[in-house]
Every structure is written in structure tokens, then in C-alpha cells.
Structure 1
């Protein structure tokens, strides 16, 4: 068959269209693959309560994806279920933990405060937490625990799920260990404004960062409790905490308001949910605070100290606090070391 210039042009145009279609489909396939999400449901309408044989915590073992090196992000969602105001009506301290398979210790994944009288049904998927830093632990068969400082039989009911997004992570390998955790409840936090037992509350540590770390940082959660005079501390007063490295003030955590009045869980009636507290709000996640560690400290050991702003009280005030150290690398990395 004789092919003239016009027919040749049509053939070339057709082939270009085919190649463009295939290229676009390859791109789409890559996009779909890189954003593949595995959803894992854990606690399902699990109730925690006090009295009537109930417990303030619920525990369970769940199976997560076993390929942390291929996980780009992990999001955790907590539904606080209270459709008919039949739950604990007060703003209660609550958190969720993951159990380290190697040490048997529970690590605080996230903390939240329950709203007055209602659940968080106004949030489509509930409270959202980025827990990617814990992906070295959140894999395979894993134990979780959810806790609420509730003091009545109505308690709280929770459903919890995780989204594991597959794809290229910022760094292929990571590890996390606690520097300290004084977070079992609000009243198990650190007494503020009075002398405390340094054998129980130890804020002087020695931290070693692996030499092949490419990124390292501290991850801290703080919430203040109590109405001690003066200033109704630690819940209602703004104080600044400091982290010292090798005796030099390096980071500060100011416990100012986080915008309680803008909370989308705005159906907490009655209740003084709109007033800002020391770094937390009823019906909201307690925020994480991140402090990047300078690269010159990678491969070294340095002294760590957490210090509270000076304050003297005649009442009871507490800070519930946990700090972790996270390391990341594109080569296999060991856990950082934290010693007393």
C-alpha cells in the first residue's frame, strides 16, 4: 500500500496519541500506587469507665502492615462516641499508647481532652493524629491501650482506626524512644510550684544520637492541671518551659492558648470550653511540640535537662508531660540511647 504524506501524518499523530495515553496512564498508576492507603480498625465502640466493674482503660492487640520502610505516613483517628449525652460530662484527660515489643513499655501516641457533655461527632473521622514517628513500632501484631481519667460509670466510648499511606517516606528508616513519660493521668504529672521527689521525676538525662542519623528531634506533649494560687496554675496560667542541652538553653515551650473558642466541637453546652487553658482545650487534641536537634550532635552524647519556670504555690498543680527523641536515616538506624 502506498503511503502518501497525508496518511503518514495521520499515522504519526495516532502513534503520538497512543504514547501520550500510555505515559499518562503510567503516571496515574504511579500516583495511585504512591497514595495507596491501608485502613486498620482497632478499638470498636470500646467503653472505659469507673465503677460497676469497669476500667478506665481498654487494651487490645491488632495487626498493622509489616513494611514500615515503605510507609510514607500514618494517621490515627479517634471517635469519641456520645450521641445522646450519656457519657461522662466533664473535660477529662485521655490518651492512647502503643506497646514497644522489645522493651514492653507503653509509648504515648497521642493525648486529647474529652468535650463537655458530648462526643466529637462534629468531626468527620474524630480526632486526627500524625503518628508516623512511631512506624518502627506500629507494625505487625501490636498492642494498644486507650485511657481516660473518668470517675463515673458513664465513662467514654471510643472507636480508633489508622490510615497507613504507602509510598516513598521522607527517610526510609526511623526509631523512637522516650526521654521521659510522666503522663499516666493529670494527677500523676509533675507537681508544679513545690519540691518534688527527684528519684521519681528525673529531668536530667544523657542522650546519644546515632552517627548515621540524617534528622533528629524531640517530640513533646504537655498539658497543665490544677487551680493553685496564685494564677490558677497550672491549668489557667501561661508559663514557659525550657530544654537545656549541655547546660545551654536551647528550646522553649510556652504554654499559651491554642484557640479553644475556634474548636469545631462547638456544641459543648453547658461548659466553659471556649476559655484557653495551658496548652489544651476541651474536645481537642493536645498539640505536639517539635524541637530539631542540630546535626553537630549526631554521633555524640550530650546532657539533656527539662526545666520549669519558677513558681511557688500553696495549692495542687501538675504538668502531665512526655518527651521522645526521634531519629531518621536512609540507612538502617539503631535507636537513640537515653540514660539517667
Structure 2
């Protein structure tokens, strides 16, 4: 009986507790956290690429268009796009700007955005497209483009055959029309391309150069010098030997007389093509003028005899125009001959092989130094010269290479001044036991100014 009563009381107590628990729960939703069932949605922006790289463009022109595919996921507002640094976008491929919107109705479908690159400045550019939309993380696309300058190309000699005998000549002179307006020309490059005629090229490494005629004096000025490869051409170089001939821009304009020469002594020779690039940009100075100081450069043995007495005039007096804002000397030098005594330590005869240091004296003082040492013949990309002895280091030149141009700049102004010039070869005496030695040498004085300038005056 007591047990039954206890069970009844416990049941009553449990029922009361349950009622109290439900009584504590209110029907007012404002006091109750909302409970939902299902998956959480995420809003995102997707692109098919995070990097767009453009092919080289010409400055002041627009590149080919790249396509960027944009798609939103669970977006409920528009996508805003902004681009920087000369890169522009379009939805129709016609109207480009640096700001775009993809409306909300299209935000969650594939949208093609057309992108191009335009710049007025030469060089590489990096930019960004930033994409944003409400409730979505921003997305950035990296952009890269490069702008090249406007180049005016002029082909002059075109596979002109130079040889000796069988009706061929070692040199050829012709007049060509070159770029007339030099006002925005920053650089002038010359390229010399050699090809082998039927029957093959000359088997020897021979002296060769390109000259321009000064229309005022009729003198020939050496633009560039090269030594031909043994047995072959320079087809391993895309455009051949390259020379910076900006110093002569005042002569390379309009009707221009040019001469090419190779010191071939057989009827094989070479086919010679010469072309010029006139590269637009901002010139360092608006006006250039040039005068020869010494010019013993027609062929290898027309150079200055080395190690013997001679009557070649290597002492000059130079007067610089008063408005010169920049002055420098431009020299090309290469040695020829196997004269002795050879250098005792290296067994190198002169002047093809012997390493030397020559000086230019200004007003009697050593001012500029020319070291005639190795320049890396064995690493020459024109390396198909076997069985010729092409890889051994010469003194300051190599078979199948352009001969280096040496520029010596006056760091202090010499405007309006007169100075003496002497080309001083390092002392050495030829013993006469193995022929002669020569240094084919040309030196020019170049002046520049932002006002019209006359050529320097050079006297003996």
C-alpha cells in the first residue's frame, strides 16, 4: 500500500516538473533564436585566368585583344571591374575603358571581358584588373605588356656580291634614301648580314667595313668594321652584325652615299646586305655633328705601321664648337700581322695577337686608354668556322665578329676649347724577322647640342 502511494507521488512530481518546463518556454519568437535547416550559401567571383600577358606592342598602338571570362556564383548584385596602367576593358570588343560593370542579371553567367594594352611610353608595364561585388571576396587579375618603339627600317645593299676576280670587286658604292626627319630619332642601328654565294664563302677571316660619304667634304667615314668568319657567313645571327651608328645620324639622312668593302682575295667572297633601323624616341640631344681625327682604316695593312718608324700623322689639333653640350671620341682599332719578337710570356706576335694598351693623349696627358686584349673568340655564336682557327683569342677582335667601337666621353665640358690629340701606341720594336705589323685605326670626334651645331675643326 505504501509502495503504491510512493509511486503515485513520484508520478505526480514528474508530471509537475514537465508542466513547469513547458510553462517556461514562451510562444514569443522575439525571445527565441531562429533555427533553420539547410546549407550555407557562399558568393564568389571566378575568372578563367589570373594572369594576362600581352605580346610586344608598338608604342602608341593597341595590342591584340585578350579575353577574360568572368562568372559569379550566388551573386545578387553587379560585378565592378577596374584596370590600371594603360590596360583597358570592354564588354563588346569596341568600346574600351578602365571601368566596367557586369549587371546583376548577368553576374552569375559566363561573361567575356575583352582586354587590350596601349601605352605612349616604351618599356614594360604591369597592371591589374580588380573585380568586386557585394558579399563576395575581391579578385585580382595580373596584367603584363611591353611596348617597343616605332622603328623605320631601310634596306640599302641587298646581297651585293663582293669578291676579287671573275668580274667581281672588293668594294661597292651606292646612294640610298634614308630617313629624312631626325627630330624624334633616338637611336640608329646598322646591321650587316653575310650570305654565301653559290660555291661557298671565302675561306679566310678578312677585314671588312661600311663607310658613309660626308657630302660636304667627300670624305669616307667608317660606320662599322667587322672581320668575316672563316669559310662561312653570319647566318647564326638573326640580323647579322649589329652596330650603333647614332653618332653619324647627321650624315645618315636623305640621299646618302655608302660604301661596303671586304678584303677578299678570291672570287668567292660574300653577299652583303646592309640595313638600318631608325628608332623613334627622345634623343639625348637634338643635333649631332662629327669630324674625323685620324682615318687609317681602308684595309688591314693600310693601318698605322707598328714597331717601326713611319710618317703617319697621329697628332692633331681639335677645336670644339662653343655650343657643344656633349663631346666624345669614337675609335675603332684592330691589329694585323705576325711580326716578331713575340711577347716572351705568351708567345704572341704582333699586331693580331699581342695584347697591348694604347693611350689617347689630350694636351699631352694620357686621358683615354684602349686595351687590346681578348674578347672571347671561343664563345662567338658564329661558331661554324671550322677548319679555320677561329676560337683562339686575338688582340681586341675575333673572326666572325664586329670589331668593338670604343667611346671616350669628356666628362668635363670642352665647349669652345681647342686641345691637342695624339694616338699613342704602346712601345714595341719590330725586329723585321717575320713581316710587318699594322693597326687599322679610325677616330672621330662627336659633338651634340640642343641648338644647331657645326662640326668640330680638326687640323694637323
What TM-score, normalized by structure 1, do the two folds share? 0.90
1:66 to 180, 196, 219: 180
- In structure 2, which of residues 116, 119, 137 is the aligned counterpart of residue 28 of structure 1? 119
For residue 335 of structure 2, the aligned residue among 224, 227, 230 is 224
Residue 170 of structure 1, CA deviation: 1.1
2:327–2:414 Cα contact (<8 Å) kept: no
**Equivalents in 1 of 2:233, 2:399: separation in Å?**
11
1:337 CA displacement: 1.1
Matched, 1:163 2:277: yes
Q: Secondary structure at the match of 2:256?
A: strand
Unaligned runs of 5+ in 2: 1-77, 90-95, 100-114, 123-145, 343-348
From 27, 39, 45, the equivalent of 2:159 is: 45
Matches within 5 A, 1:1-340: 20=98, 28-29=119-120, 31=122, 35-82=149-196, 86-197=200-311, 201-231=312-342, 232-313=349-430, 314=432, 315-340=435-460
Alpha-carbon deviation of 1:274?
A: 0.5
SS for the counterpart of 1:187 is helix
Q: Secondary structure at the match of 2:267?
A: coil
Aligned counterparts of 2:116 and 2:450: Cα–Cα separation in 1? 30
Go from structure 1 to structure 2 and tell me whether the alpha carbon gap of 1:52 and 1:13 turns closer, same or farther (over 3 Å shift). closer
**What SS does structure 2 have at the residue aligned with 1:58?**
strand
What displacement does 1:167 show? 2.0
- Which digits, 9 at most, give the CA deviation of each residue in 1:241-282, with x for residues without a partner? 111111111111110011101100011111110011111100
CA drift of 1:53 comes to 2.5
Structure (1 or 2) with the larger CA radius of gyration? 2
RMSD: 2.4
Deviations 1:42-86 (A, max 9, x none): 111101111122210011111111112221111111111027761
Contact 1:96/1:111 (CA < 8 Å) preserved in 2? yes
Moved over 3 A (4+): 16-21, 24-27, 29-34
| 8 Å contact kept, 2:199–2:268 | no
TM-score (structure 2 length as normaliser): 0.67
**Counterpart position of 2:125:** none
Partner of 2:104: none
Deviations 1:149-199 (A, max 9, x none): 1111111111111111122111111111110100010011111010012xx
Q: Contact 2:197/2:270 (CA < 8 Å) preserved in 1?
A: no
Which segments of 5 or more consecutive residues in structure 1 lack a partner in the other structure?
Answer: 1-9
SS state at 2:119 partner: helix
SS of the counterpart of 1:69? coil
Contact 1:77 1:162 in 2 (8 A): yes
Inter-partner Cα distance in structure 1 for 2:358 and 2:224: 20
CA contact (8 A) 2:350 2:437 kept: yes
CA distance in 2 between partners of 1:36 and 1:270 (Å): 42
1:19 offset after TM fit, Å? Answer: 6.0
Q: Distance in 2 between matches of 1:82 and 1:122?
A: 13
User: How many equivalent residue pairs?
Assistant: 328
Q: What is the DSSP-based 3-state SS (H/G/I as helix, E as strand, rest coil) of the residue aligned with 1:264?
A: coil
